[in-house]
Amino acid sequence: MFVSADDKKRNWEDYTFILPCVSVGNVGQLTADLVISTLWMERVGYIYHDSILPMVGNNPFAHHDANICKLTTSCEVYENESNKLLVLQQRSPFVKGKKKKFMTWLAEWTRLQKFRQVIILTSSYSEERLDVQLQGSQFRFVPSESMDRKCGNLFRTTLGWQELERRATPTELTIDGSSQQKLLYMPGSGIAKQLFENLKMDTSVVVMMMFCSEGDNAHDAVAMVTQLNNWLRIVTLKAAPGSEVGKEATGPTEWKIPVSWRLVFGTRADRTLFH
């Protein structure tokens, strides 16, 4: 269930809900980190559910001069009123065998909030790509019918996004047997596919996905959040040196790297070990 951080009643019907899924490389979580850190989003509550392993830790978005101790739990919700943005951030994995239970609850809770649109952030194994996916952008999107009607032309033409290629199953055919049925194939994407299938009939939802491998995936997160920003205009992009006036800015963004990223791979080796 959602537990509010205060007694304030909130209406999120006009909000965009960003929902990162635990997936290969944690690209969705890293992208959410950049959005939360850059906008200094307010923690408005947390998700308590027996499907998520419990954890507690230091505030991952603390300022370097912060003197107030704040704790972080396994699944929290952040809000930015000015941008009408709500972000869910999950920091621990699922209890074995309970992933579907959480997905079902989350889909129902999302419907009850009546968000204007839902964005699912995820990633998929790069080693599972088709030949046509090996080159070019490693970013893909999958829209629901309502999202496609509303933003399909913007995604494909203005932003230049490429829709995820569907795969034909070797045995299943359509009713007349004339062609193979094509399905979404997103290995390593966590609950993204199931959540999308659950929401697509009655919610404006889009999946944003990166092909990647495990490792240092910070650059994948920056690539994804840049695509997200091209759509939602979360921050203002700097113009690239020598770029023409009026052209889309392609230079570095004003993303604020959270303090929690400093020790992604642990602390540096103690130099006294080599004395």
Q: Which CATH number fits domain 13-234: 3.40.50.10490, 3.40.50.2300, 1.20.120.420, 3.40.50.10900?
A: 3.40.50.10900
Q: Is 242 a residue whose pLDDT tops 70?
A: no
Domain boundaries in the chain?
A: 13-234
User: Which pLDDT score, from 0 to 100, does residue 198 have?
Assistant: 95
- 77-93 pLDDT, tens per residue? 999 999 999 999 999 98
Spatial separation of the C-alpha atoms in residues 113 and 198, rounded to whole Å: 15
Type of residue found at 82: S
Q: Is 18 a residue whose pLDDT tops 60?
A: yes
User: Which pLDDT score, from 0 to 100, does residue 247 have?
Assistant: 43
Q: Is 178 a residue whose pLDDT tops 60?
A: no
Averaged pLDDT of the chain: 86
Give the distance, in angstroms, between the CA of residue 202 and the centroid of all CA atoms in the same chain: 20
User: Which of 59-73, 156-170, 188-202, 229-243 has the highest mean predicted lDDT (pLDDT)?
Assistant: 188-202
Q: Is 65 a residue whose pLDDT tops 80?
A: no
Spatial separation of the C-alpha atoms in residues 64 and 1, rounded to whole Å: 32
Q: Is 117 a residue whose pLDDT tops 70?
A: yes
User: Which pLDDT score, from 0 to 100, does residue 210 have?
Assistant: 95
